[in-house]
Amino acid sequence: MASSSSLYLSQALLARAVHGLNPSSDRVSLSTSTLYLPSFSGLRSHSSSTSSSCKAPTSTSSSRRVSSSSSSSVRATAIETLDKTTDVTLVEKSINTIRFLSIDAVEKANSGHPGLPMGCAPMGHILYDEVMRYNPKNHTWFNRDRFILSAGHGCMLQYALLHLAGYDSVLEEDLKSFRQWGSRTPGHPENFETLGIEVTTGPLGQGIANAVGLALAEKHLAARFNKPDSEIVDHYTYVILGDGCQMEGISNEAASLAGHWGLGKLIAFYDDNHISIDGDTEIAFTESVDKRFEGLGWHVIWVKNGNTGYDEIRAAIKEAKTVTDKPTLIKVTTTIGYGSPNKSNSYSVHGSALGAKEVDATRKNLAWPYEPFHVPEDVKKHWSRHTPEGAALEAEWNAKFAEYEKKYKEEASELKYIISGEFPAGWEKALPTYTPENPADATRNLSQQNLNSLVKVLPGLIGGSADLASSNMTLLKSFGDFQKDTPEERNIRFGVREHGMGAICNGIALHSPGFIPYCATFFVFTDYMRAAIRISALSEAGVIYVMTHDSIGLGEDGPTHQPIEHLASFRAMPNILMLRPADGNETAGSYKVAVVNRKRPSIIALSRQKLPNLSGTSIEGVEKGGYTISDNSSGNKPDVILIGTGSELEIAAAAAEDLRKEGKAVRVVSFVSWELFDDQSDEYKESVLPAAVTARVSIEAATTFGWEKIVGSKGKAIGIDRFGASAPAGKIYKEFGITKEAVIAAAKELS
Amino acid sequence: MASSSSLYLSQALLARAVHGLNPSSDRVSLSTSTLYLPSFSGLRSHSSSTSSSCKAPTSTSSSRRVSSSSSSSVRATAIETLDKTTDVTLVEKSINTIRFLSIDAVEKANSGHPGLPMGCAPMGHILYDEVMRYNPKNHTWFNRDRFILSAGHGCMLQYALLHLAGYDSVLEEDLKSFRQWGSRTPGHPENFETLGIEVTTGPLGQGIANAVGLALAEKHLAARFNKPDSEIVDHYTYVILGDGCQMEGISNEAASLAGHWGLGKLIAFYDDNHISIDGDTEIAFTESVDKRFEGLGWHVIWVKNGNTGYDEIRAAIKEAKTVTDKPTLIKVTTTIGYGSPNKSNSYSVHGSALGAKEVDATRKNLAWPYEPFHVPEDVKKHWSRHTPEGAALEAEWNAKFAEYEKKYKEEASELKYIISGEFPAGWEKALPTYTPENPADATRNLSQQNLNSLVKVLPGLIGGSADLASSNMTLLKSFGDFQKDTPEERNIRFGVREHGMGAICNGIALHSPGFIPYCATFFVFTDYMRAAIRISALSEAGVIYVMTHDSIGLGEDGPTHQPIEHLASFRAMPNILMLRPADGNETAGSYKVAVVNRKRPSIIALSRQKLPNLSGTSIEGVEKGGYTISDNSSGNKPDVILIGTGSELEIAAAAAEDLRKEGKAVRVVSFVSWELFDDQSDEYKESVLPAAVTARVSIEAATTFGWEKIVGSKGKAIGIDRFGASAPAGKIYKEFGITKEAVIAAAKELS
């Protein structure tokens, strides 16, 4: 038993060395079972205090030393005695377990990507077994280390790791139903399907950008809440990305920001396997990634043998942790499909099952005598310690937080909102309200009033713009810039990197339920970030997209800058709220909706131009999506219904006024969010758009595509089914027929 | 006169030195007017042959030596005597003309971006006056050098240059109507509005990627058509990009490819002015761009004084031209708004008019005594030579081409198709046709049959995939890969860089009218490249987007990979054709439409799964967008109309068969392209979708958004208004109700 205790001790010290910053809470083995004996050395020089702090734990909870005092010398010692202390045989057995769980699951599904898990199993093992701090029985534990598989197609790696680590979300039957209907192990990692998955990946490059967001969130919270006597926020973000991620522009955007912000606790593993779907990366990817990342301000380490160089990987992580002012890229050269004698190092192992014959050959080659999906007992036992250890880690942190709360009430209260996702009582009272007497203003300016009011009551509100803060009107006036040396601030400067911005905000949103990230650019440039916005919608990340300059109303910048099809394109997207407020109250209503919907992102389209505060608009109206703002009819039977959104609601209202003077019974409906209207009861819908009234005219300075649903076959949609033009806004409105006169003419024609 | 002749001689030699590769056709002054005398030296060492070859031209046409013999020694001499030979005073006057035309136009419009033109005027002047080869009276001259302003907001720079260079598209009145309705000088450069503008820029990063496409096109054509005795294709691509472009991921994608491909004739000027809209780039952009570009395989030069270091700029261009195996980035450090005493070097000069007071101050500061929009006579005269010179350049090339045509008939014929945009007679006969007896196949495979047939008859067809060639089925089997050393080939390997791919294809398409670039990825990843696709549509670049895996039919990869809203989102976009063929004939029809529409890009959505060849489908039907494939009704009065697209047309057809057995009169309509159907006559539309028949059922494995337009208020749209799922395709279809049974039930309910 002495041997195995020593083994565990050495592993613990290694882990401590690797984890670095917080030696007091590193993993120490709780198991006393027999294990493969390692051939190690080097523990003799340990001080007695080190030994006594770790050996012979007697129970789960007491086994972990939680005091933070006097352990720095221990850590130093541990670092010096890092090498050759690992039970290589067991490690390899664990790594091969990961490989074969992946192989077997893909084989059973006859679909999936075995190549990456086989190549990345070593770094995966070291991360989940030796380095990361998590609680498998509570995937929401706030201070856990985060892991992102940016190369999401290799998800069997992560499922295998979650399975071994003891997450209940991935049981053996889940591995066996990989990629099947209703399973918890879909074809790419989905945070909303599999507890323990942090973000949804698969679309390449998103994950590394999410990871930047997660690391930003940590750095921000640590700076904001940690105290000299209590490091209450302290975790790492690990990510594995592949060649595909590296080629995507979004990863360069995010990496440039990570370097700029000095995200020292972001550690990215670049699975450098030289193979992508079309073959050797030589055909399309010959840049020097190392040099690029150095240029981006990262610390770069190269692990030349990622297949079996376990100590190299460990040493790289250790080194990465010593670099606290820069993110680290660990380029790990691996062999895709490692272990497969005939398919490794080729694209054929990337995205297809190996096939029975090659699975057999791989079993032989790696000397793996087990049945499919079998986890050897010693491996199982070895990993079993993570359950009690994880519980202890969380308990330790909870105790620490209780202490913190006693001393720092206010901060603890703020942090709890961020951790829990609850809203401070009465937060919505901060929303500004308006009357028609308030001066006309651009909704982008009204948006800024909302942001600046809300930031005072919502501890998790944080965000910024892609180099258009002064145009998008997104600056939080009571805060400075989140920067490398001022990470406690809440204005994020994303630079002209829309795609990275969206994905970073997804990472922030999914870091903790109480984060409410917002980001901004011109509405037309949602085209640059659409893939990230879609992931917000799919992964239930409640990002608020503040999108200004929402129509031809922006004027002279012309068609490259004027959205036309964008409203329709987001109305067509599942699980996202497309809001287009018309004035002050509707802007406030849009923010209320956006804040409340934490699992459904919102896009708020805002005007560059001034708009009057209209009579009849309201926050409550916005919450229903579509509602009547004025009506001179009775019995729910107007002669005509005029429907507008955003800047064109004013036109509809003006047309109604004229028509009423001519004796018409006219209802004006604001259709600020189609999705919210869809969610209403049939009775409510009938009260706004009675089926019997087919004389309906809509006006919106955008494509008419989709409006048939609202105006019906007999109605008329006024819009713009061409690209815009460069000229003063008023001129374009007139030339394109987005006018009161056009509404009146259409209304008369129909009623 | 001797002095000014010598001046021009020296400038010519300088230009020759700069232009480098083709000394025989470099610019030589044609003017003999008096000019500011320069203080120069260094011509004395010229050989007599040099002098005789250049001095005292007597007429426009004879002034340019077109023989290519014995001039290399001249070039060498010229290079050695590069420095201090320029009439700095006139150059500065020209540069200030560019600055003030920009200032005045922005001021008059009270809208626009003066900062970049003021800072980049020196490089702009040197490019258009000294370096570039073009014919201002024929902006379509094939062998012209291309210039792209990737930082498109600075378009007044380009308008001023086109104006000075003698393009009829930018006359004084055009400058005076900058950013006004109907003007030829819109707020960002638009190739379809202003002759002489190569591509449409403004959305940042697009232009540098377009430039990579243009340079690719040149390298490809040069390798394919040049002969040892005739360099018929030989031009450069110049681009100016700013900090904003550099931050965008797309620029990194494109630059990585440019480095990989070794595009030696691509020369990019990075306007390094340290200012973006939100202020100093220090707040968000602190990476080392130099190092990144070196990592990307570029040659990097730094011009430290871009404001007045004219010779530095010239020397950099000269150096760039000597590096023939790498693209060159010339980082030019400039002052944004150079010359404005109070606003230069600040974000306030980026995107707003200077204001009358500051315009005055700038006039004083730069000693500019002229009225707004005035071009001093000597500047005008100096630039006037470009008109005859440009004509001579083109005439020279035409003569060269005539020679080439005599010797290389076949090649000349091919090249002419690419230059002219005409199609070889009978090309469409290459389109494959199918009958229901042909075996079921995935439309992605049928697409490959089309591509491989068409490439034999369309000299301009070239393209590839974003690392999914074997999934998108886009390989041209009779060609190899376009690579650094095999640029004559026609399979382009874009790597996982969808956004760059789209923009590169825009560049190829706009290089010459006969180029038909295609590019491919999974349909869902159009989200990554949407900004480039929109520019295709706006700028009339007839790119063919081959988008496979077009629905839940892709199965196990799950919701991250399954498009839902994408069809609707492109149907809503102006000037693009969204095509979703159902089988072999419709795939061929889609390609016919896509090839013919050279100014309207096409997206062809293709299935991963096998589909039967249906009875009644046709190429001609596709050309109409929507058409009847089967009908057992008479008198244009079916009981019900079933409408399907792509993989669901099969389901509609099967449902019809069952319904007919029960005695129903059923029409089945294929709705392969909504846009093409919209273009048909009302009579035709009525013949397919008679207004009187309101019993209409549509089925499409995608959002129902927009289908109300086709099925009407009384019809039913069967689709998917949620995200997809990871499971075998058949299972998802069944679970989501995309089934024959659902169509039959809906049809019965309605009819």
- Note whether B285 contacts A: Cβ–Cβ < 8 A: yes
Known binding residues of A for thiamine diphosphate: 153, 202-204, 244, 273, 350, 525
Query: Is B166 one of the annotated binding-site residues?
Result: no
pLDDT along chain A (751 residues), means of 10: 36 39 35 32 32 33 33 32 62 98 98 97 98 98 98 98 98 98 98 98 98 98 98 98 98 98 98 91 97 98 97 98 98 97 95 97 98 97 97 98 98 98 97 97 98 98 97 98 98 98 98 98 98 98 98 98 98 98 98 98 98 98 98 97 98 98 98 98 98 98 98 97 98 98 98 90
- The answer, for B573 touching chain A at a CB cutoff of 8 Å, is yes
Instruction: Check whether B38 has a pLDDT greater than 90.
Output: no
Our answer to whether residue B411 is catalytic in this structure is no
3-state secondary structure of A577: strand
For A184-253, give the DSSP string. Answer: SS-SS--TTTSTT--S---STTHHHHHHHHHHHHHHHHHHHH-BTTB------EEEEEEHHHHHSHHHHH
Residue B74 — pLDDT band, cuts 50, 70, 90? very low
- Which residues between 80 and 119 in chain A have a beta carbon less than 8 angstroms from any beta carbon of chain B? 109, 111-112
**Can you say which residues of A are annotated as belonging to the binding site for Mg(2+)?**
243, 273, 275
Instruction: Name which of B348, B528, B714 to mutate to probe chain A: the one with the most chain A Cβ atoms within 10 A of its Cβ.
Output: B528
Measure CB to CB from residue B292 to each of A190, A296, A728 and give the nearest one.
Answer: A296
CB–CB of A594/A577 below 8 Å?
A: yes
**Is A290 in the B-facing interface, judged by CB distances under 8 Å?**
yes
Residues 307-366 in A contacting B (C-alpha not used; CB under 8 Å): 347
Q: How far is B384 from chain A (nearest CA, A)?
A: 30
B307 CA: distance to closest CA in chain A (Å): 25
State residue A39's pLDDT score: 34
CA distance B54 to chain A (A): 44
CA distances from A7 to A33, A38, A56, A63 (A): 11, 7, 12, 16
* CB burial of residue B59 (10 Å; 0-12, 13-18, 19+): exposed
The average pLDDT across B354-377 equals 98
Measured between beta carbons, which residues in chain B are less than 8 angstroms from residue A603?
none
- Catalytic residue selected from A107, A190, A394, A498: A498
Answer whether A477 touches B (CB < 8 Å).
no
The candidate with the shortest Cα–Cα distance to B36, out of B81, B83, B94, is B94
- pLDDT beyond 60 at B65: no
CA–CA separation, B172 and B247 (whole Å): 35
Whether A568 and chain B come into contact, CB under 8 Å, resolves to yes
CA A354 to the chain's CA centroid: 32
Provide the token pair at A304: 């030349």
Q: Which residues of A are annotated as a binding site?
A: 113, 153, 202-204, 243-244, 273, 275, 350, 444, 471, 525, 549, 557, 561, 608
Alpha-carbon distance of A621 to A589, in angstroms, equals 8
CB contacts under 8 A, A 182-201 vs B, are: 182-183, 186-188, 190, 200-201
Least confident among A8-17, A210-219, B59-68, B466-475: B59-68
Residue ranges of B 695-724 with Cβ closer than 8 A to chain A: 703, 705-706, 708-709, 712-714, 721-723
Chain B's closest residue to A736, CA to CA, is B181
Q: Is the pLDDT of residue B16 over 50?
A: no
**pLDDT score, position B81:** 34
- How far apart CA A623 and CA A19 sit, in angstroms, is 47
pLDDT reported for residue A43: 30
Of A188, A294, A493, the CB nearest to B557: A188
Which domains, ranges and CATH numbers included, belong to chain B?
A: 82-389 (3.40.50.970), 427-605 (3.40.50.970), 625-750 (3.40.50.920)
Residue B495 scores a pLDDT above 60: yes
Residue B696 pairs in a beta bridge with B641
Residues A160, A197 contacting (CB under 8 angstroms): no
Decide if A204 and B112 are in contact by the 8 Å CB cutoff.
no
Q: Which two tokens stand for residue A699?
A: 């006006």
Greater model confidence, B238 or A64 = B238
B188 belongs to an annotated ligand binding site: no
Instruction: Determine phi and psi for B90, rounding to 5 degrees.
Output: -70, -40
Q: A26: Cβ–Cβ under 8 A, 6 or more apart, which residues?
A: A12, A15, A16, A19
Tell if the CB–CB gap between B179 and A705 is shorter than 8 Å. no
Q: Which of B498, B540, B675, B700 is labelled catalytic?
A: B498
The chain A residue lying nearest B495, using CA atoms, is A284
Tens digit of pLDDT for each residue in B248-303? 999 999 999 999 999 999 999 999 999 988 889 999 999 999 999 999 999 999 99
The angle formed by the CA atoms of residues A486, A492 and A497, to the nearest 5 degrees, is 130
- pLDDT for position B235: 98
What is the model's pLDDT at position A265?
A: 98
Higher pLDDT, B56 or B658: B658
For residue B33, is pLDDT > 60?
no
Residue among A250, A288, A708 whose CB faces B249 most closely = A250
Q: Which member of A179, A294, A496 has the closest CB to residue B727?
A: A179
Indicate the angle between helix axes B115-125 and B310-322, nearest 10 degrees: 60
Does A256 contact B at CB distance below 8 Å? yes
Per-residue confidence (pLDDT) for residue A277, from 0 to 100: 87
Given a contact cutoff of 8 angstroms between Cβ atoms, the answer to whether B98 and B117 are in contact is yes
Q: What sign does the dihedral B180-B181-B182-B187 (CA atoms) show?
A: positive
Q: Is the dihedral of CA A17, A20, A24, A28 positive or negative?
A: negative
Q: How far is B202 from chain A (nearest CA, A)?
A: 6
pTM above 0.80, yes or no: yes
Question: Does pLDDT of B70 surpass 50?
Answer: no
B228 is in an annotated binding site: no
Interchain pair B500, A259: CB under 8 A: no
Task: Name the pLDDT band for B87 (thresholds 50, 70, 90).
Answer: confident
- A57 and chain B in contact, CB less than 8 A: no
State the helix-helix crossing angle for A386-407 and A409-420, rounded to 10 degrees.
140
State how far Cα B251 lies from the chain centre: 14
Average pLDDT of B150-178?
98
pLDDT surpasses 80 at B76 = no
Phi, psi of A432 (to 5 degrees): -70, 150
Q: Which of A107, A278, A474 best tests the B interface by mutation, with the highest count of B CBs <10 A?
A: A278
Give this complex's ipTM.
0.90
Residue B244 in marked binding region: yes
Closest C-alpha to A210, from A543, A601, A574: A543
Give pLDDT tens digits for B372-389.
999 999 999 999 999 999
Task: Name A576's Cβ contacts closer than 8 Å, sequence gap at least 6.
Answer: A533, A536, A537, A570, A600, A601, A602, A603, A675
Assigned token pair, A672: 């600020």
Q: What pLDDT shows up at residue A274?
A: 92
Across the interface, whether the CB atoms of A727 and B181 are under 8 A apart is answered yes
Q: pLDDT at position B42, please?
A: 30
